[in-house]
Amino acid sequence: MITQAASKIAFLFPGQGSQAVGMGKDLYLNSVAAREVFDEIDDTLGRKLSTMMFEGPDEELRQTENTQPAIMATSIATWRAMEEATGVLQIPNAAAGHSLGEYSALAVSGVLSVTDAVKLVLERGRLMQGACEERPGGMAALIGLDEVTAEEICRESGAQISTINTEQQIILAGDHRSLAMAIDIASARGAKKAIPLQVGGAFHSGLMSPAQSGLNDMIDSLTFHDPLVPLVGNVTAKSLGTAEEVREELRLQLTSCVQWNNTVKFMLNDGITSFYEIGHGRILSGMVKKIDRSASIANIGDFASVLKYATASAS
């Protein structure tokens, strides 16, 4: 049985950086529905990703080809465990994912099957790795500077705004020379922090363009459905109501800025009062709290939090 939530809630899905060895293990051990998700993803990959997730080693889990499907697996398994525990899944009033997390949201909203979502994520990761090798670059975090100042820094350095997490947390991407220059300028402009990130490339920037054609082909090869849950896109920060709107969002997302700050504000302005971060970690919860301290936020990423959610839903 499926029912709409009485109050306006949103499900949020984390992206790369939220991974850790052991994530999802207690879900696998305690939830039949979650176990089926991990097994389905293992079968799709043709290898035991779940064993690596639960036991490590960490160096292997941090490889993009493993990290991305592992994060997706944990989010989708958590969601299925929530459904199993409640018996009546609350359909959220909105769903959104941060970068990679947007692909988890596609599976949860019924746009893609779990198998197709995993296939798309794997191909996306492979293509992005190729783009990183063809056009090397990186990313840097600016803390304490606003978007206008960040745009000025980009014009002077040649870097590009890659992600706007909050009004005071902005990520830049670019080649190594541009980023080094941007960090120096940002420090001179009074940034609280201006630091390079430990990532493999300049994600969500023009340096990812060598991957565009291949990603478009993969998107076009899969069957997309209109979302059952209202999706809010990374790039547009607006609701995506049709399969074709979702396809276009994914095409744009590869080289465009992730507008996370505006995505959360869109949901708040639409009357969302409670946010649930579905998956491992609390990165998105922290961002939402910085955007609006009055927002109600909870993380659901292990079996104990699933049961807590089920108890609250029943009351």
**DSSP β-bridge partners for residue 97:** 13
Q: State whether 251 and 151 are in the same domain.
A: no
Q: State whether 189 and 269 are in the same domain.
A: no
Given this model, what pLDDT does residue 64 score? 81
Domain final position from 154, 177, 196: 196
Q: State whether 35 and 120 are in the same domain.
A: yes
Please state the separation of Cα 142 from the chain's center in Å.
Answer: 20
* Lookup: tokens for 266: 């869109």
Asked if residue 227 has a cis previous peptide bond (ω within 30° of 0), the answer is no
Q: State whether 64 and 82 are in the same domain.
A: yes
Nearest to 99 by CA among 313, 260, 251: 260
- Residue 112 has phi, psi (to 5 degrees) of -130, 150
Q: State whether 64 and 79 are in the same domain.
A: yes
pLDDT of 192 above 60: yes
* Lookup: tokens for 222: 């899969």
Which is catalytic among the residues 18, 75, 98, 204?
204
Q: Is residue 225 part of a domain?
A: yes
Nearest to 83 by CA among 48, 110, 118, 43: 110
Q: Is residue 201 part of a domain?
A: no
Q: How far apart are CA 296 and CA 290, in angstroms?
A: 12
Count of domains for the chain: 2
Q: State whether 186 and 229 are in the same domain.
A: no
Domain final position from 157, 173, 196: 196
The more confident residue out of 6 and 193 is 193
Asked if residue 57 has a cis previous peptide bond (ω within 30° of 0), the answer is yes
Lowest-pLDDT range of 7-11, 132-136, 140-144 = 7-11
Q: Is residue 68 part of a domain?
A: yes
Q: How far apart are CA 42 and CA 293, in angstroms?
A: 39
pLDDT of 3 above 50: no
Q: State whether 144 and 188 are in the same domain.
A: yes
Which is catalytic among the residues 99, 109, 157, 256?
99
Mean pLDDT of the region 211-232: 97
Q: State whether 45 and 185 are in the same domain.
A: no
Residue 163 is part of which domain span?
138-196
- Of the pLDDT bands very low, low, confident and very high (cuts 50, 70, 90), residue 2 is very low
- Of the pLDDT bands very low, low, confident and very high (cuts 50, 70, 90), residue 90 is low
* Lookup: tokens for 216: 């478009």
- Of the pLDDT bands very low, low, confident and very high (cuts 50, 70, 90), residue 198 is confident
Q: Whole-model pTM? A: 0.94
Q: State whether 266 and 118 are in the same domain.
A: yes
Q: Which residues contact 177 (CB under 8 A, 6 or more apart)?
A: 158
Is 204 catalytic? The answer is: yes
CATH number, domain at 142?
Answer: 3.30.70.250
Is 18 catalytic? The answer is: no
Q: State whether 155 and 212 are in the same domain.
A: no
